[in-house]
Structure 1
Amino acid sequence: MIDNEKIKKHFFKNKLTLIYLISLMLYTLIIFYCNGFNYSKINLILITITFIVGFIILKFSLKSEKDIHKIALLYLLIFGLIIAFTSPIFVVPDEVEHFARSDLTSEGVLFPQYTPNQGYYMNNYFWDMLYNAGLTIFNANLTHWDIWDAQAFFESAFSQNLFYGYIAQAIGILLAKILDLSVIWTLWLGRVFNLIFYSLIVYVSIRNIPKFKYELLFLACLPLAIFQAASMSVDGFIFAMAILNFSYFIRLYYSKKEFDPKDLAIFFISGLLIGLLKMPYIFILLLIFLLPKNKFKSKNYCLLLNLISLLLIGIAMIYSYKYASPELLKSGRALIMAQNNVSVSGQINYMLNNPLNATLTLIKSVGGSIYTIFIYELKLYSEKYVNGYILFNLLILIIFFIVSLLSPSKFKKKERLYMFFVFMVIYVSIFLIQFLSWSPVGGNEILGIQARYFVPILPLIPLIIGKGYCKKIKDYNHILLMCITLVLSATLILTFIGFY
C-alpha cells in the first residue's frame, strides 16, 4: 500500500528546501546589487559553502524534527562556528574590551586592578590583535605570530563586568596558550568556547521547556544573538542566561505539580547572574508574581519567594550603583563623558528641575525607537557598514513579529498585561540608564542605545502578542525551520559580501 500522507510530506519538505534555495539566491543577488556586484573568489567560495551547508542542515532537520533540542545544538554550532572563524578581528561591538577582560580572566585575574592614567596590565600579543582590528584572516597574517608574554597597559578591560561572564572565553584563550598556538587562535578559541557555552544552555533550555520549543529555537538563532554568542562578548552569556530563565519560567508556569525547588533556584540564579552584569535585566525576576499560587508549598513559601525576588532586585541595583557604574568609568569613558558634558548627577538635577522636558525626551526616544534602533542603526559589526543592511534588518523584524503573532500563547489578558509591564520596565530602564550615563546633560535625545540590549527580553514578545494561529497552519514547524535556516544563511552572506 502506498502511504499518500508520507508522500505528501516528502514532497512538501522538498518544496521547502527549494523555497530556501530560491529565496537565498534572490537575497544574495539583491545584496550583490546593493554593493555594486563587488565580489571576489573568496566570498564566492564562502557563499557557495553557505548554500551547501544550509541545504544539508535543512534536509536533516526536516527529517529529525522530534529532537528539536538536538537540532538547536546543530544549528547554533554549525552556523556559529562559521561566524566565529570568518568574522574579522574585533568586529563585534566592544569586542576589543571583551577580549582584554577574557585574557585577564585566563591569567587568573578575576578582579582587574586599574592603574590611574594608564589602565590595565595586558599581555603584549593583545596589541598584535588590536592593530589588525577589522581585518580578516586572509590579510592579517596573525597565523604566523606567536603568543608572547611581555606586558603593557591598555585603557579598558570592562572591569565592571563580573568574571563569570568570561569564563568560557578564558578557557578558549588558555587552551590556545597551553597548545602554543599562534595569536589568532586566542580569538578563535575564545569565540568558539563562548559559542559552545551558549549552544549548550540553549540545548538544555529547549529540552526542558514544555512548550514554545520552536519559538525558543527561533529566538536563540536570531542573527544578533548568535553573532554575539560567536564572539568574545559577554552578551553571549547574558543571552544564554536570559533564555534559560525564560525556559524555567515557562516550565514552572505549566508545571502540573508542586514547584520543584531546583527549578525555582535556576530561575532565580539565572536572573541574578544577568542582573549583576546589566542591571535592567534583574527586573525579569518580577515574572515570579505570575506563577500560579496553588503550586507553591504554602502561602508563606510563596510570600518568601516573592520577597526574595524583590531582595535580589535591590541587591542588583545597589551593586550597579556602588560598584559597576564607578568601575565603568575606568575605561576611558570618563574622559569621553567630560568632553561631551555627560554627568549622572548633572542629568538628575536637570530632570528634577525640568521634569516635563526630561519626560518628553524619554517618551520620544522610547516611542520612536523601533525603526531607528532595530532597522536603521542595527549592525552586527562595529567596523563596517554593508549596503543592504536595512533590507536585512527589515526582513528579520517582519519574520520575528510574524512568528510572535503565530505563537501558541494561552496566557490570560491580565497575565499578558503584566508581562507587558515587565517588558516595559526593562525597556524603559535601558533608555533611562543611557540618558543618565551616556547622554549630554539637558539633551533632547538619548544616545548609545543599541538593539542588542533588548535581545534578553525578546522571549516575552511571543507570550504577549501570540494568537495561536500556528495551529491552523499545516506543517508550521517545518516552515519555521526553513525560515531559521534562511535567516542564518542570509547572515553569513551579508558578512562575506561585506568583508571578503
Structure 2
Amino acid sequence: MIKLLEDMRVYPAFGREVFFLFLLSVLLFLLVFFLFFLKKTRLSQVFFITMMLLGSVYSFVLMPLSAPDEVLHYVGAYELSSKMLGTPKPLYDHDGNLRIRKEDTEIDDWSGDNKPNEATVFGMFIQREQILERQEAGFFAKEGGYGYTLQKPVSTTPFAYFFPALGFSFARLISASRFTLLYFGRFFNLLFFAFMGAIAIEKMPFGREMLFSISLFPMTLELVSSLSYDTFILALSFVLLSIVLDYQHREEKLGLKEIGIICLLAVLLSPCKMIYSMLFASCVVVSYRRFSSPLLYFFAIFAVGLSIVLGVLLVNFDSFSRYLRPQADTVNVSDVVGDGIVQETYNRRETFAQPDVFVKILRNTFMIKGKEYLLTMVGNPLGQFDTRVSFPEGLCYLFLLFPFATAILGEKKAIRKKTLNIAQRTVFLLLSVGLVLVTLTMMLFAYTPKRTDYVLGVQGRYFIPVLPFFILSLVPLGLRGKKGEKLARGILLFQILANLVFCIYTYCTLFQS
C-alpha cells in the first residue's frame, strides 16, 4: 500500500487513472444495483450498459494486444480496414507484407524494449514503461508515411473483423494516433458484442441470467474488449441459442423469414472457426410442428446445412480440402513452443487405426489438463498466460457455479409448454460433449507432436460458446419465480463487483511490476 501511494505521488497520471477507475467502479456498481432492484429495468438493457462500461474498464486495464492472439487479429482487422479505405496502394510490399501507417509500426515492433533485433509486440507483457508511454501519447498521429508489419493475418471470414476494422478506419480518417486506433477498434468490437448479446437476452424465453453470468467471466470480458474474433463467435453463438429456444417456444408458426435468419447466422459463424458449425445441430430441438408445413421443416434442414457448407467452402476451401483428402505423403508439423522449431504432429490415419491409443490420449488430456481448461475458461490466467493477470482460483470455481445457479433461479417468460424435454436436453448434452471431443481431436492432429501422450494447444476459452448449451441440458429452469429472479440478479451484481475489484487491483499490480 505504501509503495502504491508513493507511485501515485511520483506519477500523477497514474494516480488520476487509479482514482478514475475507482470512481467509475463505484458508479457502475451503484447504477446496476439501481437498475436491478429499484427501477426493475429490462435485463437486456442492463446487459448492454454493463458490457459497455465493464468491457471498457477491461480494455483500459488489459492494454491493447495483451489478449490471446490479439496481434494476429489486429493485423486481420487492419488489412480489412485498408481494403475499406482503399489505401495504401499497393496494399502489400514485394514480400507480401501488409503496409501500415508509419505511426503504427511501434505496435508490433516496440522500440521501448531496447532490443532492435527483436520484434516485441506492444502489450504482450504489460509493463510500467508501456503504461507510461500510453499516458504520454496524444490523440492524433505524430508520424506520416507508411511502413509494414511482418505479422500475418488470420485466414477467416472478413465479417469477423468488420467492426474492429470499422473502428480502425474511422481512426485513420481522422489521423488518430496508434493508441487511439487500437482503442477505437476495441470499442467497436465491444459494441458489437454488447448489442448482439442484448438481443440474445431479450429473445431468450429462459436462461437469460445464465447468458449474462457467462458474459461476466473475466475471460469473456477480456475477449470481447479486445480485437479478437472470439467476440464475433461468442456474440453469434449466444444469438443462435436464443433464436433456437425462441423458435421452439413462440406461438407463431415459423416460415421463410425465420429460416433465413438461421441461414444468415450459419454463413457468418461457420467459416470463422469451422468447429463451431456444430452448434447448428441445436436447431433439431425445434419441432417440425413449429413450421407451417412439414415440407418447410425439411427445407429448413437442407437450407441451414447448405449455408454451413457454402460458408465454409467459400472461406476455408483449401484447409478444408487438405483435411478431408490429405495426400499419402503429407506430414503435418507444428511450431509448438514458438521458437521456429517444427515437430511432426499426430497423423489422422495412423491414430484412428489405433483406437485404444486415441482413447488413452483423450483420457490423459482430461486428467492432466482438465483443471486448466476450467480455470482458463473463467480467467486464470488472462492475457498471454500472464500469471500477474490471474483471476483468483477460488473465485474461478465460484464463477463456474454461477451460470448453473442463475439458470435455476432466473425468471422464465410465460411460455406455452415445458421448457426443455428429455430429448432436447439430450441433443444439447451430446452437442456439448461432441464439440469438446472434436476440438481435442483436431488439435491432436494440428498441434500435438508425436509421442506426446495428451493434447496440446487447447484452452478453456474455446468451450465458452458451448457452455450455455451444456448448462441447459442439465439444470431445471426458472423454479423460484420473482424471488429466484432477485437472487439471480444478486449473483450477477456480485460478479460485477468482483470484476471491478479485480481490475483495480490488477492495474495497480501491473504498474508496480
Separation in 2, partners of 1:227, 1:457: 18
Offset at residue 179 of structure 1 (A): 1.6
Pair 274,401 (structure 1): closer, same or farther in 2 beyond 3 Å: same
Pair 155,388 (structure 1): closer, same or farther in 2 beyond 3 Å: closer
Mapped contact 2:85–2:169 kept (Cα < 8 A): no
One-letter amino acid of the structure 1 residue matched with residue 438 of structure 2: S
* Stretches of structure 1 lacking an aligned partner (at least 5 in a row): 1-31
- Residue-by-residue CA offset, 1:186-230 (whole Å, 9 max, x unaligned): 101000011111111112222233333322222333322222111
Greater CA drift, 470-479 or 266-275: 470-479
Greater CA drift, 73-82 or 305-314: 305-314
Separation in 2, partners of 1:325, 1:385: 36
1:414 aligns with 2:423: yes
Which residue of the partner structure matches residue 396 of structure 1?
399
Secondary structure at 2:480 match in 1? helix
Separation in 1, partners of 2:335, 2:321: 11
One-letter amino acid of the structure 1 residue matched with residue 356 of structure 2: L
Separation in 1, partners of 2:320, 2:255: 36
Greater CA drift, 213-222 or 244-253: 213-222
Which residue of the partner structure matches residue 71 of structure 2?
96
Secondary structure at 2:148 match in 1? strand
Pair 103,294 (structure 1): closer, same or farther in 2 beyond 3 Å: same
The alignment of Structure 1 onto Structure 2 pairs a total of residues equal to 461
Alignment of 1:480-491 (within 5 A): 480-491=491-502
Offset at residue 319 of structure 1 (A): 6.0
1:125 to 98, 103, 108: 103
2:147 to 148, 151, 156: 151
Mapped contact 1:347–1:442 kept (Cα < 8 A): no
Separation in 2, partners of 1:142, 1:426: 44
Secondary structure at 1:311 match in 2? helix
Separation in 2, partners of 1:452, 1:437: 18
Offset at residue 268 of structure 1 (A): 2.9
Mapped contact 2:408–2:475 kept (Cα < 8 A): yes
Separation in 2, partners of 1:405, 1:342: 47
2:171 to 173, 176, 180: 176
Greater CA drift, 44-53 or 296-305: 44-53
Which residue of the partner structure matches residue 219 of structure 1?
214
Greater CA drift, 333-342 or 239-248: 333-342
Mapped contact 2:101–2:146 kept (Cα < 8 A): yes
Q: What TM-score comes out, normalization by structure 1 length?
A: 0.82
Separation in 2, partners of 1:187, 1:478: 33
Offset at residue 313 of structure 1 (A): 4.4
Secondary structure at 1:449 match in 2? coil
Offset at residue 281 of structure 1 (A): 0.7
Separation in 2, partners of 1:257, 1:373: 41
Greater CA drift, 216-225 or 275-284: 216-225
1:356 aligns with 2:350: no
1:446 aligns with 2:455: yes
1:288 aligns with 2:263: no
Alignment of 1:42-441 (within 5 A): 42=15, 44-45=18-19, 46-47=21-22, 49-108=24-83, 119-130=97-108, 131=110, 132-133=122-123, 134-135=126-127, 136-140=130-134, 141-143=136-138, 146=142, 148-158=144-154, 160-315=155-310, 322-324=317-319, 339-343=341-345, 347-366=347-366, 369-375=369-375, 378-382=380-384, 384-386=386-388, 389-406=392-409, 410-441=419-450
Mapped contact 2:18–2:504 kept (Cα < 8 A): no
Separation in 1, partners of 2:425, 2:364: 24
Mapped contact 1:275–1:282 kept (Cα < 8 A): yes
- Residue-by-residue CA offset, 1:302-353 (whole Å, 9 max, x unaligned): 122223333344446656763357999xxx969959824144xx52143044
Secondary structure at 1:151 match in 2? strand
Secondary structure at 1:303 match in 2? helix
- Residue-by-residue CA offset, 1:458-477 (whole Å, 9 max, x unaligned): 22133111223641645334
Greater CA drift, 394-403 or 411-420: 394-403
Separation in 2, partners of 1:383, 1:327: 31
After superposition, the CA RMSD in angstroms is 3.4
Separation in 2, partners of 1:164, 1:97: 15
Separation in 1, partners of 2:85, 2:464: 27
- Residue-by-residue CA offset, 1:86-131 (whole Å, 9 max, x unaligned): 3223110111111111111111179999889764444443321121
Separation in 2, partners of 1:232, 1:129: 13
Q: What TM-score comes out, normalization by structure 2 length?
A: 0.80
Separation in 2, partners of 1:446, 1:101: 28
- Residue-by-residue CA offset, 1:434-459 (whole Å, 9 max, x unaligned): 11111102421111111211111122
Separation in 1, partners of 2:242, 2:302: 22
